[in-house]
Amino acid sequence: MLELLTAILFVLVAAGTAWAGFRAANWRARSVERLAPARPQTADVPPPPTVMWRELVARLGSVLPASERDLPRLKRRLIRAGYRNPNAARYFQGFRVVCSIGFGLAAFVWTWRTGGEHIFLGPASAAALGWIAPMQFVLMRGRRRQHAIARGLPNALDLMVVCVEAGLGIDQTTLQVAKELEHAHPEICAEFSVMNLELRAGIRRAEALHNLAARTGVDDVRKLVAVLVQTDRFGTSIAASLRGHADYLRTMARQRAEERASKLAVKLVFPIFFCVLPSLFVVTIGPVMTHLVRDLIPMIQNM
């Protein structure tokens, strides 16, 4: 009996020692893995859906690229809309192809299910709409961005005058304006940041300013660039030039507002004539006509 208890105790102690050894080895391995740098993903892991979609659109854009004559204009429109990716034109062409195919298939399925007669005319029109819609979206986004840049330019000019009068150069002034107005006017601050990056890359100031005017496509920015280039060329006071140009922009904005206010009376003629006057006639003449009809019809019938 004593020998059996001794054997059982020996087995238990051996099993506990082995378990403790394996557990200690497992802890050591986990500690090493935790301290080691993260391993790169293997090729067996599938890419996320966004990457697959982007690759599909890029391949479709490569299959049907824009013409060499229209490519600079397309890139300029995309930049003015805020798309600065070097492959934005290829993605845009691929997205147009996807929209055309998707719109065409949706119209074909709908026409086939509803039993329409024009089973080919409808999908062709939908495909054409899918081809035109992305360009219209880019143009609309570009116009909205240009309007935002023009709206934030007077405030940026005022801050530029303050910075220049404080002793900063034009390069540091644009950088400071881009930092201070980042949340109030992000569009024009982004353009100023790009111009500062071009200056750091070694581009001449006049060329960077002309690139700023070409990227935005705003007339007020072109005038500002002309003022800055002339000031830099002739050595005149930058603060005085900026202050005069800011006053000029505010005067032009006030004149445009007065012009729109003067046109408002003419534009309100049609809404008043077709919307307000009919309801006014119903309210004023309706009761009178009701009384006349109620009183005259019995009189006519009794005659």
Q: Are residues 170 and 121 in the same domain?
A: no
Q: Are residues 58 and 84 in the same domain?
A: yes
How many CB atoms within 10 Å of residue 195?
Answer: 22
Q: What is the pLDDT of residue 213?
A: 92
User: Is 229 contained in some domain?
Assistant: yes
User: Is 6 contained in some domain?
Assistant: no
- Residue pair 97/125 in contact by the 8 Å Cβ criterion: no
Q: What is the pLDDT of residues 244-281, one digit of tens each?
A: 888 888 888 889 889 989 888 888 888 888 888 888 88
pTM of the model: 0.70
User: Is 99 contained in some domain?
Assistant: yes
Domain count, the chain: 2
% pLDDT > 70, the chain? 81
Q: Are residues 219 and 255 in the same domain?
A: yes
Q: Is the dihedral of CA 38, 43, 44, 50 positive or negative?
A: positive
Mean pLDDT, residues 36-54: 57
Q: Are residues 68 and 83 in the same domain?
A: yes
Distance CA 37, CA 1 (A): 56
- Residue pair 216/150 in contact by the 8 Å Cβ criterion: no
Domain boundary among 108, 126, 142: 142
In terms of residue numbers, what domain contains 111? Answer: 49-142
User: Is 153 contained in some domain?
Assistant: yes
Q: Are residues 159 and 257 in the same domain?
A: yes
Which residue in the block uniquely carries the two structure tokens 């240009």? 146
User: Is 297 contained in some domain?
Assistant: no
Q: Are residues 172 and 193 in the same domain?
A: yes
Q: What is the CATH number of the domain that holds 233?
A: 1.20.81
Domain boundary among 142, 174, 207: 142
Q: What is the pLDDT of residues 103-132, one digit of tens each?
A: 989 988 888 888 766 777 888 889 999 999
User: Is 207 contained in some domain?
Assistant: yes
